[in-house]
Chain A
């Protein structure tokens, strides 16, 4: 057992998968430059030493190298694409949305697209073009799986599963959870490190984790919001409100079973998300709950989300923008008050 950060756990997963299968390779900007940072958040740091021919530093040409990765996957390679900030996925959007997500379907199931795309997300003091939570833009796109690891243990196991999956998988990694060190460390980071077992493991998609058991209300949250929800749950516990916190870990596929079981028990549910409220993941979850679980609900489903604006720069506004622990505590209390 060793305690690893998310950045380190992802690096170990990549290393192990590259050793296991020589078709696996990494492609992206600044991912393996001696004297550099190993990608924007140190995930691939040093891997070029062991795999000089399989850590591919690209020009700043996102549309181009996403397509290159796709083409190579058609003849059996298994690329792990690194994009420095999730926001730049838009630069490669045709390749992702029209090609990567659709080629298998268009071929009548004859081609396989074993591609992993790793993208950092999170509102972190950089303004509107380096802060977006990208999940909603891809959640509505059939043909891509979406994974959101909040701990180092999950990051390693889920990335290994992603590499072995014969379909496109997008992994959203949170900038404040990486635990990147040295010059690439982030202010405001949260410790998301885990004890990582010596022996190999993978984690299947579509299996949520109940981070905290509770009986009065269910909170569904991923990435940074999971930590805020957990913290809120602890505060509420002291005030006599018992909160269950569910971390879905993958959005596509989604573990409805765990969520439904929880709601059947609590009858109340809140979804917390860092992205704007309109059209967010919470909207989809809430709609499905309304369709399928109405009889179990004793209070309206609530969403806690960012406002429908881009992310502002100023720390004062950023604090207002990102859902806080206090907001979660407050909202839960309101729900409990109106329904008991």
Chain B
């Protein structure tokens, strides 16, 4: 880690974004369980370093695709949490005007294609965005977020092959949290590292600790620079863990207690907090950021609650351009 190169300001920016995601998700979970929030949710607690590390390596004009678990990616791309919270409540001020909900969250103006809740569905789309960038000679990259489970879909293999053959500026980011829903990766694939799969398409594949935000950032930076300068696609596998249920009220009883315990010790925010302290950042500063973030989230909740619902007839809008 080239940690000495980072200013305290930049490090605190990483911290702030990760905490914003964590606190957002915890608040959403509460609102959902309490019955205030409708729908279903797939949450991102434990994987914050992945979104923040990767998205911090992007520039304006770059585009990501996200999944059924999009909240973290949206926040890391700088989406307005007010519009996200409003979307979760189905309000007209939401980022998708209440049409999308949790699973389809996104904002193309912020470089986020609306969340694609069909597992593997986003992989060819990100590939096509990269294809478009190349065809139009644009200096941008596409990032495709996916889970371990998605790499078993045919779309993964078809997409990687095309990206390789056409040398596209796409970064495939596989967040390996060990489970696809309740199914452990070891039950559904024999490769030890998912990044090995990239080699079948002659794409560089890297596996790193996805809970180390700086490591993720640096690895993403390198892949992004390479793609931007015509060097083609990269697959980055981020080893991480989901420290919440798969969806809704899932108690995740399929995760062994020992494994969960270890994961909690290794979760990205705790890990990064120790690092910040070791760098001489004071506890007070760290705490004050968390407090600021909580206030920001309460404002978003208030905004969302006070916002209007769409009109019932709004159902009929937005179908065709």
Residues of A within 8 A of B (CB): 29-30, 33-37, 57-64, 87-88, 90-91, 125-130, 183, 307-310, 312-317, 319-321
Q: Is the CB of B254 within 8 A of A34?
A: yes
CB contacts under 8 Å to A, within B296-321, are: 309-316, 319
Q: B89: nearest residue on chain A (CB-CB)?
A: A314
For B180, what are the chain A residues with a Cβ–Cβ distance below 8 Å?
A: 29, 59-60
- How would you classify the secondary structure of chain B's contact residues: helix, strand, loop or mixed? loop
For B181, what are the chain A residues with a Cβ–Cβ distance below 8 Å?
A: 29-30, 36
Interface pick from B15-23, B117-125, B136-144, B202-210: B117-125
Q: Is B69 an interface residue (CB 8 A)?
A: no
User: In the assembled complex, how far is the CB of residue B59 from the closest CB belonging to chain A, in whole angstroms?
Assistant: 30
CA A313 – CA B105 in complex, angstroms?
A: 11
Pick the contact of A126: B39, B91, B98 (CB < 8 A): B39
| Given A59-B188, A307-B315, A313-B99; A128-B104 close (CB under 8 Å) | yes
Q: Is the CB of A129 within 8 A of B117?
A: yes
Pick the contact of B182: A33, A129, A316 (CB < 8 A): A33
Q: Is B271 an interface residue (CB 8 A)?
A: no
Size of chain B's interface in residues, with CB distance under 8 A?
51
CA A320 – CA B99 in complex, angstroms?
A: 13
Residues of B within 8 A of A (CB): 38-40, 87, 90-92, 94, 96, 98-104, 116-120, 149-150, 152-154, 180-183, 187-189, 245, 248-255, 309-316, 319
Give the residue among A36, A129, A308, A316 with the most B Cβ atoms within 10 A.
A316
For A313, what are the chain B residues with a Cβ–Cβ distance below 8 Å?
A: 39, 87, 90, 96, 98-101, 104
Q: Is the CB of A312 within 8 A of B149?
A: no
For B120, what are the chain A residues with a Cβ–Cβ distance below 8 Å?
A: 60, 91
| Given A60-B152, A127-B39, A183-B251; A312-B189 close (CB under 8 Å) | no
Pick the contact of B310: A58, A59, A61, A316 (CB < 8 A): A316
CA A316 – CA B20 in complex, angstroms?
A: 29
Q: Is the CB of B119 within 8 A of A314?
A: no
10 A-B Cβ contacts within 8 A? Answer: A30-B181, A30-B183, A60-B188, A63-B154, A88-B118, A125-B40, A127-B101, A129-B118, A313-B39, A320-B312
User: In the assembled complex, how far is the CB of residue B174 from the closest CB belonging to chain A, in whole angstroms?
Assistant: 13
Given contacts A37-B182, A127-B104, A314-B92, 8 further A-B contacts (CB under 8 A): A30-B181, A60-B120, A61-B154, A127-B101, A183-B250, A313-B101, A315-B38, A316-B311
User: In the assembled complex, how far is the CB of residue B321 from the closest CB belonging to chain A, in whole angstroms?
Assistant: 14
Q: Is the CB of A87 within 8 A of B118?
A: yes
CA A228 – CA B118 in complex, angstroms?
A: 30
User: In the assembled complex, how far is the CB of residue A28 from the closest CB belonging to chain B, in whole angstroms?
Assistant: 11
Q: A40: nearest residue on chain B (CB-CB)?
A: B181
| Given A58-B188, A61-B154; A29-B183 close (CB under 8 Å) | yes
Q: B148: nearest residue on chain A (CB-CB)?
A: A60
CA A126 – CA B42 in complex, angstroms?
A: 11
Q: Is the CB of A127 within 8 A of B100?
A: yes
For A130, what are the chain B residues with a Cβ–Cβ distance below 8 Å?
A: 40, 103, 117
Give the residue among B90, B154, B251, B314 with the most A Cβ atoms within 10 A.
B90
CA A131 – CA B181 in complex, angstroms?
A: 19
For B90, what are the chain A residues with a Cβ–Cβ distance below 8 Å?
A: 313-317
Q: Is the CB of A125 within 8 A of B38?
A: yes
Give the residue among B149, B181, B189 with the most A Cβ atoms within 10 A.
B181
